[in-house]
Structure 1
């Protein structure tokens, strides 16, 4: 039976850590969608979303009368923008006023002060991490990064989550994506096949984190990650190398993490209607093709031109 604690109104809700852990377990270990967690525990959708994905938002250090930055999507959007801008020279980063203006264009109803409070909070909680001075990773042509992101779509008149496998090529900043019904091994390997087809070749090296379909559970902190047998067979067939990121080293695949956020807030801000996975795959493919018609954020060359050069390095 669901605890009465789950039945309180949204604005009064303060879940115990055991309840939060339950939500995190259903999300991260069981792979349940936000909607399924909501139905299983009988809680509000926004509460399920907040606690399932709360590590994407900074911890609140300033009590605000308006909590929309933390309970709605706006905090996630701004967090992704701030993280993306942290990789750029200061003069190229968005100002607070620019961020506020872009949020208004997306339908934001909050105040400028609310946004400033959130940005200050985010900077306070991330400055230590950003100041660690990670060595800049080199990204030779045909090196790719892969990760999943959860996006919201509309199917049969109802909102639902879909899993989107994203492949980013940091050298050119080109990206490819395929929506999938799950993050299991069958979907992961089939998704990679689609991404190879979209790319017109196979990356020489793919960097991943500890994705369950590809990496066996590591029992010791000093034990190296071991690939699953099915993924090794898949790797041998296509001939690419694999690099598994170190634990808690998100900067090692920062390109694809930023690209997941970029796709979410540029192509899924208004939840698209999904008639089928095939139709949505084709739509995303065309959108990302068109998206390459812009300058690389650092090299000041068209992404399409960089990609045309990089894809010559791919394996057949």
Structure 2
């Protein structure tokens, strides 16, 4: 086929300069039939016939092989089948073609599927492709063992479907980050292809700038390599670049932590979060007019598979004891008896625990990390004073659910005067002890014997006791 400039020259010589076919042939050094074709014929654009034929397209073999290629693309390289294996397995189900036919089809498929796990039937072009996630921490408040406690909630969202997942953790350090991400991967049943994060110090050692890319920490790179996901780091002070997860953090805080839920422990709280977020997916997507759960099931099939071996989450540090046999961890001094007797001390840290070892590997101390014990006491004195002003509304207070059951039942009396007297008595006890101690010594303090059922106490005798003590004062 001649170039378009040559075709245009032939037309020009023939129509505008009245040249013969032989003249054109000699002038341009082309075949006479070629000169005749383009000089006197109509050269119009034609639609190309793009339909393909052959056993890989006309029969089921192409669909079968495409399915296998899509499934294997989600696995690590060493788990994917070779061309020989594909041909061998096709042969076992009756494939009549050659190995070369299989290789040519695979080569063509891979040339149009650049990303691992690309779906065969395709998606419309979107700003947020399937299986790409965003990650961020948020601080939530819970009630734990009679006190308020801040928990760090790691939230992962998938903007394509707007599905969200979250786990509560005690801190935002690297061990908690890896532990939280591991739990999230198991919740969603796979690994996102790409995770977008901000410049968190637990993952980024050098923040992204206008001229230089972000540099990730070695530990984070090792974690990401194990799970095979790519990381995108946002520009500094650009929360809008991960706006989906920023919004989801607020959504979780205002919908699932509005009045500081009671937490027994982290596993139970995370199971509760999991169930709530799963139920939350049964609503329409804010733009696509489809249920989030349906979009998530569609997106879930594009995730990378979990590795067979889970990533071991721990951190090793070298410690030094001061002259008081104290080791500083998480900005807190921990007393370790005889610590200075060891020339070297190593620490092994997990998200929740620490273990100190001597240089010879002998365990010398272990326990919960200091931040596990941090909390803020509930100011029951102020709360009970407020309740005394509005006795009829006491049971509807946001703090009512935090009371121990026996004290809750003790205050739940039909007579308002009795309620006020009992509130006053509790206020007097709170001067020298906290609510947890009052609950533990409850029967002793009210002068009643402990019963198998908390609600079998003779409250009338207690009320008389309280009245007499009041008269005596």
Q: What range describes the TM-score normalised by the shorter chain of this pair? A: 0.5 to 0.7
- After TM superposition, list the pairs within 5 Å mapping 1:128-139 onto structure 2: 138-139=127-128
Q: Distance in 1 between matches of 2:208 and 2:188?
A: 35
State the SS of the aligned residue for 1:159: strand
Counterpart residue number, 2:181: 192
Counterpart residue number, 2:158: 169
Q: Would the aligned equivalents of 2:208 and 2:236 in 1 still touch at CA under 8 Å?
A: no
Q: Provide closer, same or farther for how the CA distance between residues 269 and 172 of structure 1 changes in structure 2, counting only shifts above 3 A.
A: same
- After TM superposition, list the pairs within 5 Å mapping 1:117-156 onto structure 2: 138-156=127-145
Q: Distance in 2 between matches of 1:216 and 1:155?
A: 34
Deviation at 1:219, TM superposition (A): 9.0
Aligned equivalent of 2:203, options 197, 214, 217: 214
Question: Is 1:314 aligned to 2:303, yes or no?
Answer: yes
Counterpart residue number, 2:288: 299
Counterpart residue number, 2:170: 181
Counterpart residue number, 2:191: 202
Q: Provide closer, same or farther for how the CA distance between residues 262 and 223 of structure 1 changes in structure 2, counting only shifts above 3 A.
A: same
Deviation string, structure 1 residues 61-97 (Cα, Å, up to 9, x no partner): xxxxxxxxxxxxxxxxxxxxxxxxxxxxxxxxxxxxx
Q: Distance in 2 between matches of 1:187 and 1:205?
A: 20
Counterpart residue number, 2:255: 266
Which runs of 5 or more residues in structure 1 are unaligned? 1-136
Q: Distance in 2 between matches of 1:223 and 1:138?
A: 24
Question: Is 1:223 aligned to 2:218, yes or no?
Answer: no
Q: Provide closer, same or farther for how the CA distance between residues 239 and 274 of structure 1 changes in structure 2, counting only shifts above 3 A.
A: same
The structure whose Rg is larger is: 2
Deviation at 1:222, TM superposition (A): 3.5
Counterpart residue number, 2:388: none
Counterpart residue number, 1:159: 148
Q: Distance in 2 between matches of 1:233 and 1:272?
A: 36
Give RMSD over aligned pairs. Answer: 1.5
Q: Distance in 2 between matches of 1:184 and 1:149?
A: 13
Q: Distance in 2 between matches of 1:167 and 1:219?
A: 21
Q: Distance in 2 between matches of 1:220 and 1:169?
A: 26
Q: Distance in 2 between matches of 1:245 and 1:220?
A: 10
Deviation string, structure 1 residues 160-213 (Cα, Å, up to 9, x no partner): 110000000000000000000000000000100000000110000000000111
Report the TM-score when normalising by structure 2: 0.37
Deviation at 1:220, TM superposition (A): 6.3
Deviation at 1:221, TM superposition (A): 5.8
Deviation string, structure 1 residues 90-126 (Cα, Å, up to 9, x no partner): xxxxxxxxxxxxxxxxxxxxxxxxxxxxxxxxxxxxx
Q: Would the aligned equivalents of 2:209 and 2:235 in 1 still touch at CA under 8 Å?
A: no
Deviation at 1:248, TM superposition (A): 1.8
Counterpart residue number, 1:49: none
Runs of 4+, deviation exceeding 4 Å: none
Report the TM-score when normalising by structure 1: 0.56
Counterpart residue number, 1:117: none
Q: Distance in 2 between matches of 1:217 and 1:274?
A: 36
Q: Would the aligned equivalents of 2:177 and 2:202 in 1 still touch at CA under 8 Å?
A: yes
Deviation at 1:251, TM superposition (A): 1.3
Q: Distance in 2 between matches of 1:188 and 1:303?
A: 26
